[in-house]
Amino acid sequence: GIQVEQSPPDLILQEGANSTLRCNFSDSVNNLQWFHQNPWGQLINLFYIPSGTKQNGRLSATTVATERYSLLYISSSQTTDSGVYFCAVVGSTSYGKLTFGQGTILTVHP
């Protein structure tokens, strides 16, 4: 099946800093999503982005499907950004099934 690798595995920032999270995938995809799992365990949709660039406030994401990677940018980080960021993809032969990466654990200190 399709493989999803995220980097870095851990990231520690001071409030106000910017960061870039990366997601590499091993095959062509029909769907790519970024999620934030907050400290209470809730999985929150950030972006549905199988290709192109999207922005939502301080967050933006870019997927280059032909090169099989996606980037999540967090600007002016806040302590509430802490948690785990997951990239998940639906492979072109996966019939809707999301395959998750192992996540990036982000800690933002005040």
Partner 1 sequence: DARVTQTPRDKVTEMGQEVTMRCQPILGHNTVFWYRQTMMQGLELLAYFRNRAPLDDSGMPKDRFSAEMPDATLATLKIQPSEPRDSAVYFCASGLRDEGQYFGPGTRLLVL
Positions that interact with partner 1 (CB under 8 A): 30-31, 33, 35, 41-43, 45, 48, 86, 88, 95-100, 102-103
Q: What is the per-residue burial (b if ≥16 Cβ within 10 Å, else e) of 46-60?
A: bbebbeeeeeeeebb
Q: Which is nearer to partner 1, 96 or 110 (CB)?
A: 96
Q: Which is nearer to partner 1, 43 or 71 (CB)?
A: 43
Nearest approach, Cβ of residue 101 and partner 1 (Å): 8
Nearest approach, Cβ of residue 19 and partner 1 (Å): 21
Q: Which residue has the tokens 């032969």?
A: 93
Structure token digits, residue 76? 């002016």
CB proximity list for 73: less than 8 A, separation 6 or greater? 18, 19, 20, 21, 59, 60, 61, 62
Nearest approach, Cβ of residue 50 and partner 1 (Å): 8
Nearest approach, Cβ of residue 4 and partner 1 (Å): 10
Number of H helices, E strands in the chain: 0, 11
Q: Which is nearer to partner 1, 75 or 94 (CB)?
A: 94
